[in-house]
């Protein structure tokens, strides 16, 4: 077997295996650049097969045929490789105008080869005896005058595509640089072999190794792209996934130099990707750089920073400031640590709140080689949070102001009694409590107290509370009896169309007893019965529950007055249902627990109020509005009651 036949057979077997690679890529063509890679593989495959058949041809006519057909693969290789590299490097599809330009030379070459009169301008077989060169008995062509212009053009096209590919592979993150370096060397092999062959330099056999080397190159590239998944890690899938992310994605190396960034990161940093590469994170965004200072490689770090971002013009530079401050593409420090001083920034900037997430890339031995930063513009969320916080603060201030207007800052001083009141709204802050209490003067030398629980919360509760409080005050001052006061309050509430406008009330008119102590004329409108602690420590409920006010007409209200006498030192505790209905899981605070708290509480009115509120707070975090009013007959029987305490304690 001649050497040409052997080499041809080797090339043919390799080419057939190579077509198998093309079939494999075709099955995985969903990956970005898959179609262009298949076209590139087919071009090299046609070149290799035809060259193998050319080497195996025993006649000049057969060799001339396959030598011409192989140019179909040669001229198609350049456009196909460019289409693949552009997709692979994230620059999109090959533009139509570029495709047209790339097809001009291939079409011209094929026309030259197809016309017998011009065929020999590229290559020819000598017809004179002795001039035809043979390799193992097989004819070898000579180069024509157009061969080198065609070769130079083909070199330029292929080197441009491979150069762009090599440049991109050189930018691969550190963990992939070893594989990328191998791919770079393999990508350059065909050019080195073809140059040595055509220049007849240090090449012992007159067989063009270029198709074989291109086959080897493409096989290794396919292996790298699919076996090492570099097709996913580099811009092919990147253009489909990463570049379309709304979040900015930045890759920095171990020295915090920018390696790559997607379009969202360009917008967040205000710098084009081409200008980012090579800059350090500290130069451009010191606030983001500071996040990496405390980053643990084994963890994902998260932080929020403030950036002053320059606007970008369509040409890729930062927009000049209003006074013509030229910023150009590479900018000064635009990062700002929250609460710190900003660096030098262009005048036309926008301030953005940016959430930063940092994840380390490590090599096989665990060394930190790069960081992936995900940047999310959370300005809108932060503005919403600030606005909600401002609204809540404003609502809380309004609620506090309204609440203070609905209950006394200090309780009225009354003769022969010590008073204490406490009130804590339940639920989220900023809502007006539905519980209220008041102490005020009544007719005939008496004074009165009222403790109520209005349905609902907020403004509606405030309206009902205000009506109830001032209605009771007015009626007390006019000399109405305790039952009549509640009947009139019920009428005021029941005459509205609001079916939810109701409340429960404990009301009493109180007078001093000549022998010391107090006498209370107590009525309840659907309210829990107050508790009285006697001098011997006995605790008992007093009062008849009666009808909830605001739900029935005047004729249907049922309230019953009960006279309650308090000896000096004895205590009456009025409370809202938020006390006994405070819940811990499925358990209620309950009246029995309240009785025990009252029995164990200190001797004074403030002692009792504080003990009840503390017990409820310890028992249940999630509770309703709570209010208590404590009335104690002056233990000393003094003519003047001691000064009441601030309702808020």
Joined tokens for residue 610: 């504080």
For the 405-633 domain, the top CATH level (class) is alpha beta
CATH topology of domain 3-238: Rhopdopsin 7-helix transmembrane proteins (1.20.1070)
Rounded-to-integer distance, Cα 249 and Cα 359, Å = 11
Locate the domains of the chain by residue range.
3-238, 245-377, 405-633
Rounded-to-integer distance, Cα 270 and Cα 349, Å = 9
CA nearest to 623, candidates 349, 435, 393, 410: 435
CA nearest to 437, candidates 593, 572, 598: 572
CA nearest to 448, candidates 417, 409, 491, 410: 417
> Positive or negative, the Cα torsion across 359, 362, 368, 369?
negative
Q: Going by CATH, does the domain composed of 245-377 fall within 3.30.428.10? A: no
| DSSP H helix total and E strand total for the chain | 19, 22
Cα-based distances in Å from 313 to 241, 270, 316, 317, 328: 25, 10, 6, 6, 10
Element (H, E) at 74: helix 60-88
Joined tokens for residue 400: 């506090």
Rounded to 5, what percent of the chain is helix, strand, coil?
45, 20, 35
Q: What is the pTM (predicted TM-score) of this model?
A: 0.46
Whose tokens are 């045929």? That residue is: 65
Q: What is the pLDDT of residue 504?
A: 93
Q: Could you report the average pLDDT of every consecutive run of 10 residues in the chain (649 residues)?
A: 56 63 60 70 82 82 87 89 77 80 91 89 80 74 86 86 73 53 68 70 63 72 58 47 77 81 84 77 85 80 83 52 37 44 52 87 72 87 86 74 68 92 74 82 94 81 83 94 92 72 91 93 96 96 92 74 96 95 90 96 96 93 85 74 44
Residue 533's CB: how many other CB atoms inside 10 A?
23
């Amino acid at each position: 077997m001649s050497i040409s036949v052997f080499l041809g057979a080797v090339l043919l077997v390799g080419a057939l295996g190579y077509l198998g690679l093309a079939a494999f890529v075709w099955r995985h063509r969903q990956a970005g650049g898959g179609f262009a890679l298949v076209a590139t593989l087919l071009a090299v495959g046609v070149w290799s097969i035809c060259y193998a058949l050319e080497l195996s041809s025993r006649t000049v006519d057969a060799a001339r045929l396959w030598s011409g057909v192989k140019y179909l693969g040669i001229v198609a290789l350049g456009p196909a490789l460019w289409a693949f590299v552009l997709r692979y490097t994230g620059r999109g599809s090959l533009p139509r105008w570029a495709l047209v330009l790339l097809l001009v030379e291939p079409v011209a070459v094929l026309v030259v080869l197809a016309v017998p009169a011009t065929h020999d301008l590229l290559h020819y077989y000598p017809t004179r005896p002795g001039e035809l060169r043979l390799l193992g008995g097989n004819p070898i062509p000579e180069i024509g005058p157009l061969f080198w212009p065609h070769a130079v053009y083909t070199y330029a096209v292929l080197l441009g595509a491979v150069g762009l590919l090599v440049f991109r592979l050189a930018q691969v993150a550190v963990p992939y640089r070893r594989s990328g370096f191998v791919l770079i060397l393999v990508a350059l092999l065909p050019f080195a072999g073809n140059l040595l062959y055509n220049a007849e330099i240090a090449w012992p056999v007159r067989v063009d190794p270029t198709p074989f080397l291109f086959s080897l190159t493409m096989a290794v590239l396919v292996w790298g792209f699919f076996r090492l998944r570099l097709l996913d890690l580099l811009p092919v899938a990147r253009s489909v996934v990463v570049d379309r992310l709304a979040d900015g994605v930045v890759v920095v190396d171990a020295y915090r130099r920018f390696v790559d960034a997607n379009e969202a990161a360009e917008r967040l940093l205000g710098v084009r990707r081409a200008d980012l590469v090579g800059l350090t994170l500290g130069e451009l965004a010191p606030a983001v750089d500071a996040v990496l200072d405390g980053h643990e490689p084994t963890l994902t770090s998260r932080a929020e920073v403030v950036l002053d971002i320059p606007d970008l013009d369509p040409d890729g530079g930062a927009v000049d400031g209003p006074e013509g401050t030229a910023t150009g593409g590479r900018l000064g420090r635009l990062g700002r640590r929250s609460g710190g001083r900003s660096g030098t920034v262009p005048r036309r900037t926008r301030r953005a709140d940016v959430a930063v997430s940092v994840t380390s890339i490590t090599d096989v031995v665990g060394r930190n080689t790069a960081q992936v930063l995900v940047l999310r513009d959370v300005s809108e969320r932060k503005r919403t949070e600030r606005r909600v916080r401002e609204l809540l603060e404003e609502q809380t201030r309004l609620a506090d102001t309204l609440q203070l207007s609905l209950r006394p800052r200090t309780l009225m001083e009354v003769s022969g009694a010590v008073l204490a009141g406490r009130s804590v709204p339940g639920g989220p802050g900023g809502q007006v409590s539905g519980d209220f209490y008041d102490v005020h003067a009544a007719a005939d030398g008496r004074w009165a107290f009222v403790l109520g629980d209005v349905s609902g919360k907020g403004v509606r509760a405030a309206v009902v509370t205000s009506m109830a409080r001032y209605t009771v005050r007015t009626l007390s001052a006019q000399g109405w009896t305790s039952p009549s006061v509640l009947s009139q309050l019920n009428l005021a509430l029941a005459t509205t169309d609001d079916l939810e406008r109701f409340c429960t009330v404990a009301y009493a008119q109180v007078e001093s007893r000549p022998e010391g102590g107090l006498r209370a004329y107590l009525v309840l409108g659907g309210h829990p019965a107050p508790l009285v602690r006697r001098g011997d420590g006995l605790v008992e409920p007093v009062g008849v529950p009666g009808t909830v006010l605001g739900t029935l007409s005047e004729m249907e209200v049922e309230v019953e007055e009960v006279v309650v006498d308090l000896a000096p030192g004895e205590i009456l505790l009025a409370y809202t249902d938020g006390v006994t209905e405070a819940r811990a899981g499925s358990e209620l605070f309950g009246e029995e627990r309240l009785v025990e708290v009252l029995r164990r509480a200190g001797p004074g009115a403030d002692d009792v109020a504080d003990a009840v509120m503390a017990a409820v707070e310890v028992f249940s975090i999630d509770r309703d509005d709570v209010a208590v009013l404590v009335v104690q007959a002056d233990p000393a029987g003094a003519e003047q009651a001691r000064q009441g305490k601030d309702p808020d304690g």
